[in-house]
Amino acid sequence: MATVLVVEDEPAISESLAYSLRREGHDVEAAASLADARERADDQDLVILDLMLPDGSGFELLAELRRRERPPAIIILSSRDQEADRVAGLETGADDYVTKPFSPREVVARVRAVLRRTLKSAPASEPAGPGLPLVCDGERRRASVRDQELELTKVEFDLLQHLLAAPGRVYSRAQLIEKIWGDNFAITDRTVDSHVKALRRKLGTAGGDPQWIETVRGVGYRLRERAED
Ligand code: CA
């Protein structure tokens, strides 16, 4: 099914996760340190990452993986359950977060959900129709709500396309800036907010719902997975 790297220094946890994930059909590797994880991180679809490792913080590896051309999906694993870590993890680009103690079944379910989102979103040029009546055709650069075409600027189109690539996934403003503008340091969080505002208005005008793009307080934005919630 997928290649999964479990980065965890507690053998009992690592082994039970690897066992459960293999039983689910995944191709699993394990690493017990950052150094070990770096050697095994190539070609992984998903990395399960403990934050407290003997040679440093999982956040270091998270940042490195995010800079890769094809970053794996990442689920953070930690005994630290403070809100600050959760937010930091999501802002740094983690796809999900599990707090210890957890049951392997819970992690397997999260893995399944994250892979469903990330693997499906890989071919970005496909006209993608999620649970929302929203279609975005990357090749023709056209987007529509129930056949009603949206008149979008380049930035609005790029924004919508990125959100639509992984409905339900939260993107921080920093991630959106990096994806849409690259290394343009003149772009601020406010710029992102104003483009999101314009995009929401156009979704509403075309017969959609401006709230399909949700604000996740203290983190960023995400596209709803379905129209009604
Ligand atoms: Ca640990």
Give yes or no for a contact between 9 and 32, defined as CB atoms under 8 angstroms apart.
yes
pTM: 0.54
**Which DSSP string corresponds to 99-150?**
ESS--HHHHHHHHHHHHHHHHHT--TTSPB--BSSEEEETTTTEEEETTEE-
How far is ligand 1, taken at its centre, from the CA of residue 5, in Å? Answer: 15
Nearest-CA neighbor of 40 among 78, 14, 19, 13? Answer: 14
Residue 124 lies in a domain: no
Q: Say if residue 122's pLDDT is above 50.
A: no
Those residues whose beta carbon sits under 5 angstroms from the ion ligand 1 are 9, 50, 52
**Tell me, what's the pLDDT at 28?**
96
Residue 59 lies in a domain: yes
The mean-pLDDT minimum among 114-118, 172-176, 206-210 falls in: 114-118
Q: What is the dihedral of CA 175, 178, 184, 185, to 10 degrees?
A: 30
Does residue 203 share a domain with residue 168? Answer: yes
Instruction: Identify how many contiguous H helices and E strands the chain contains and give both numbers.
Output: 8, 13
How far is ligand 1, taken at its centre, from the CA of residue 182, in Å? Answer: 34
How far is ligand 1, taken at its centre, from the CA of residue 133, in Å? Answer: 43
Does residue 97 share a domain with residue 11? Answer: yes
Give yes or no for a contact between 171 and 196, defined as CB atoms under 8 angstroms apart.
no
Does residue 84 share a domain with residue 139? Answer: no
**Tell me, what's the pLDDT at 128?**
45
Q: Is 56 helix (H, G, I), strand (E, B) or coil?
A: strand
Residue 14 lies in a domain: yes
Burial 38-65 (b: 16+ CB within 10 A, else e): eebbeebbbbbbbbebeeeebbbbbeeb
- In this prediction, residue 123 has a pLDDT band, given cuts at 50, 70 and 90, of very low
**Tell me, what's the pLDDT at 121?**
52
Whether the bond between 167 and the residue before it is cis, its omega within 30 degrees of 0, is no
CATH of the domain at 182: 1.10.10.10
Q: How many domains does the chain have?
A: 2
How far is ligand 1, taken at its centre, from the CA of residue 117, in Å? Answer: 27
Taking only the tens place, the pLDDT of each residue in 27-80 is 999 999 999 999 999 889 999 999 999 999 999 999 899 888 778 999 998 776
How far is ligand 1, taken at its centre, from the CA of residue 150, in Å? Answer: 48
Domain coverage including residue 28: 3-118
Residue 87 lies in a domain: yes
The mean-pLDDT minimum among 53-57, 166-170, 183-187 falls in: 183-187
Does residue 114 share a domain with residue 10? Answer: yes
Beta bridge mates, 121: none
